[in-house]
C-alpha cells in the first residue's frame, strides 16, 4: 500500500478518534472524573442515529444535533443528580460509580437495541485520486468530526459558559466565590462530554458497523488519546487523536491490524511513566 494512502487513512481515523476523546478529556480535566460511561454514550449516539435513520430515512448528518442534544440532557442529569454528590471523592469512588451507571446504560441498550452490529449505509461512493481511494462517507465523517472539534474549541474560548468551565477547572473555590454555580457548571461540562460522545457515535454509525461490544474499545481509545494529548484541552485531544490514528494506521500496515491497538496501549503506558502530563502538555483552554 502506498504510504500516502496509509497517511490519509490515519488522518481520517484520527479525526474520528479526536471526536471520541474530546468529551472524555474535558470531563477528566475539569471534573477530575474518569468517565466509564463514555463508551456507552458513543454507542448510544450511534444506535439512536441508526434507528432514527431506519425509521425516517433522514440522513444522520441532520439528525446529529438532535441526538447530541439528547445525550447532553442525559449527561447533565446524570451529573447533576448522581455524580455531583461524590465529585470530590477519591478516584476509586467516582470511577466505580460511573462504572455502575455504565452497567445500567449498557444493559438497557442490549435489551432495547440488542448487540447486533448496525451501520447506516448511505452509498456515497469513493473518490479516486490516482491510485489512492477514499470513501466519501469517511471524508464526510472526518469533516464533521473536525467541525465539531473546532466548534467546541470556540465555545470553550469565547462563550460565557466556556469561560466558566475554564474558571472552575483552574480553581473551584475561587470560581464559587465569583458567583459561579459550580454544580451547574459540572453538569454542563459532563453534558458537553456526552454531547461530543453522542455526536461521535452518530458519525461512527455512518462509517463503521457499531455494536455494544465496542463500548470498551472506544473507552480504551479515549484513555490512550488523553494520555498522548494531555488532559482537558481541545487541541491536545485533536493532536492525540490524529497521532493515535496515524500510529494505528502504520502499525496495522507494518505488523498487522490485530496488533495496532496493542501498539497504542504500549505507547500509552510508556508515556504515562515517562511523561504523565501528556505529550503535548497543553493545559486548559487558554
Contact residues: other proteins, CB under 8 A = 28, 32, 34, 82, 85-86, 90-93, 95-97, 99-104, 106-108, 110-111, 216, 220, 223-224, 226-227, 256, 258-259, 261-262, 265-266, 268-269, 272-273, 276
Nearer Cβ to other proteins (56/107): 107
| Cβ at position 230, least distance to other proteins in Å | 12
| Cβ at position 80, least distance to other proteins in Å | 14
Write down the residue that cell numbers 496488533 correspond to: 259
Q: Is residue 88 a contact partner of residue 172, using CB atoms and an 8 Å limit? A: no
Write down the residue that cell numbers 473518490 correspond to: 127
Quote the CA–CA distance of 105 and 44 in Å, as a whole number.
9
| Cβ at position 20, least distance to other proteins in Å | 16
Quote the CA–CA distance of 42 and 176 in Å, as a whole number.
32
Nearer Cβ to other proteins (105/199): 105
Quote the CA–CA distance of 97 and 248 in Å, as a whole number.
31
Write down the residue that cell numbers 451501520 correspond to: 119
Quote the CA–CA distance of 96 and 32 in Å, as a whole number.
14
Nearer Cβ to other proteins (187/202): 187
Nearer Cβ to other proteins (34/152): 34
The C-alpha angle 75, 285, 151, rounded to 5 degrees, equals: 60
| Cβ at position 109, least distance to other proteins in Å | 10
| Cβ at position 130, least distance to other proteins in Å | 33
Nearer Cβ to other proteins (5/259): 259
Side-chain half-sphere exposure of 180, counting CA atoms within 13 A: 24
| Strand ranges for the chain from DSSP E | 126-129, 132-135
Nearer Cβ to other proteins (106/190): 106
| Cβ at position 85, least distance to other proteins in Å | 7
| Cβ at position 200, least distance to other proteins in Å | 20
Nearer Cβ to other proteins (110/126): 110
| Cβ at position 69, least distance to other proteins in Å | 25
The contacts of residue 62 (CB under 8 Å, 6+ apart) are none
284, exposed or middle or buried, with CB in 10 Å at 0-12, 13-18, 19+? middle
Nearer Cβ to other proteins (15/212): 212
Torsion over CA: 157, 268, 144, 52 (sign): negative
Q: Is residue 167 a contact partner of residue 176, using CB atoms and an 8 Å limit? A: no
Amino acid at each position: 500500500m502506498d504510504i500516502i494512502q496509509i497517511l490519509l487513512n490515519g488522518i481520517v481515523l484520527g479525526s474520528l478518534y479526536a471526536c471520541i476523546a474530546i468529551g472524555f478529556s474535558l470531563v477528566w480535566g475539569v471534573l477530575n472524573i474518569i468517565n466509564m460511561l463514555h463508551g456507552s454514550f458513543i454507542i448510544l449516539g450511534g444506535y439512536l442515529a441508526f434507528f432514527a435513520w431506519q425509521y425516517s430515512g433522514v440522513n444522520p448528518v441532520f439528525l446529529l444535533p438532535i441526538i447530541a442534544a439528547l445525550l447532553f440532557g442525559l449527561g447533565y442529569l446524570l451529573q447533576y443528580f448522581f455524580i455531583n454528590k461524590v465529585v470530590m471523592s477519591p478516584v476509586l469512588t467516582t470511577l466505580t460509580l460511573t462504572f455502575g451507571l455504565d452497567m445500567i446504560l449498557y444493559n438497557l441498550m442490549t435489551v432495547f437495541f440488542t448487540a447486533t452490529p448496525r451501520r447506516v449505509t448511505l452509498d456515497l461512493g469513493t473518490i479516486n485520486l490516482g491510485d489512492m481511494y477514499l470513501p466519501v462517507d469517511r471524508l464526510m465523517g472526518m469533516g464533521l468530526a473536525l467541525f465539531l472539534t473546532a466548534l467546541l474549541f470556540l465555545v470553550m474560548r469565547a462563550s460565557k459558559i466556556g469561560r466558566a468551565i475554564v474558571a472552575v477547572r483552574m480553581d473551584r473555590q475561587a470560581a464559587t466565590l465569583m458567583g459561579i454555580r459550580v454544580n451547574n457548571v459540572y453538569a454542563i461540562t459532563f453534558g458537553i462530554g456526552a454531547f461530543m460522545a453522542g455526536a461521535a457515535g452518530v458519525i461512527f454509525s455512518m462509517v463503521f458497523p457499531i455494536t455494544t461490544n465496542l463500548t470498551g474499545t472506544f473507552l480504551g481509545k479515549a484513555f490512550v488519546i488523553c494520555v498522548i494529548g494531555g488532559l482537558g484541552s481541545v487541541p491536545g485531544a485533536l493532536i492525540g487523536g490524529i497521532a493515535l490514528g496515524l500510529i494505528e494506521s502504520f502499525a496495522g500496515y507494518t505488523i498487522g491490524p490485530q496488533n495496532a491497538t496493542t501498539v497504542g496501549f504500549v505507547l500509552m503506558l510508556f508515556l504515562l511513566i515517562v511523561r504523565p502530563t501528556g505529550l503535548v502538555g497543553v493545559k486548559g483552554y487558554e
